[in-house]
Amino acid sequence: MDTTHRTDQQKSAQERRRELLEAADRVVLRDGPQASMNAIAAEAGITKPILYRHFGDKGGLYRALAQRHTDALLAALRSALDAPADRRERVEATLDTYLAAIEARPQVYRFLMHPAEETQQDGPGFDVGRHSAPLLRRMGEELGVVIAERIDLGPGSEALARVWGHGIVGMMHAAGDWWLGERPCSRPELVRGLADLLWGRLAEAADRVDGPGF
């Protein structure tokens, strides 16, 4: 098989995978955590065995969807962190970006973060928690890198930046999950409250001189 033919096949497989993920997204937007492999296969106009061929099982499909949405969210968070504004405004913009994302697509958020009894039809033992933990961990690590690049926290800066990254992601996740379920206040009120909680040490830290300040 020549290189050109192999490249065309790879592109075709990647395009087909993208189409299947878009079909899965449509079902998740409609059904949330109850989205099943049967429904996703029907939406894509294929049989379930073909869907399994591409993703292995629902866990494989979940991981592919999680990476798709996490990549988009991290890009949006980085844009908020690098916006031309003072640090407090960027902190609030970053928090608001996360909350706006889960508010705009709550069914996707619930699919990624909350298990459902109905998922058992797609195979025993599917555990959303087991899959969602790496997603949050990745976000924490990525945010830690961003903080380390933008703020000089003194001795042990890199380790402290990782602590902050995971702590902020955990706070956003827990507070956002509670807020999305109960709506006890407006999104701007929640953003201000969380920013107030974070602001003490952030207000005192020095920006790094070799890159954009956080």
Reduce the secondary structure of 69-91 to three states and give it as a string: HHHHHHHHHHHHHCCCCCHHHHH
> Over pLDDT 90: what percentage of the chain?
43
* Average pLDDT score over the chain: 84
Q: ∠ CA 191-195-201 to the nearest 5 degrees?
A: 170
- Residue 118 in this model has a pLDDT that exceeds 70: no
Placement of tokens 């916006």 in the chain = 83
Least confident of 7-21, 52-66, 185-199: 7-21
- Residue 213 in this model has a pLDDT that exceeds 90: no
Phi, psi of 184 (to 5 degrees): -75, -15
- Residue 167 in this model has a pLDDT that exceeds 80: yes
- Residue 93 in this model has a pLDDT that exceeds 90: yes
Structural domains of the chain, with CATH: 3-207 (1.10.357.10)
Contact between 34 and 116 (Cβ < 8 Å): yes
Q: How confident is the model at residue 128 (pLDDT cuts 50, 70, 90)?
A: low
Residue 112 token pair: 């990624």
Rg (CA), the chain: 20
Q: How confident is the model at residue 120 (pLDDT cuts 50, 70, 90)?
A: very low
> Over pLDDT 70: what percentage of the chain?
83
Quote the CA–CA distance of 120 and 54 in Å, as a whole number.
20
- Residue 10 in this model has a pLDDT that exceeds 60: no
Which amino acid would we find at residue 166? H
Contacts of 118 (CB under 8 A, 6+ apart): 33, 34, 36
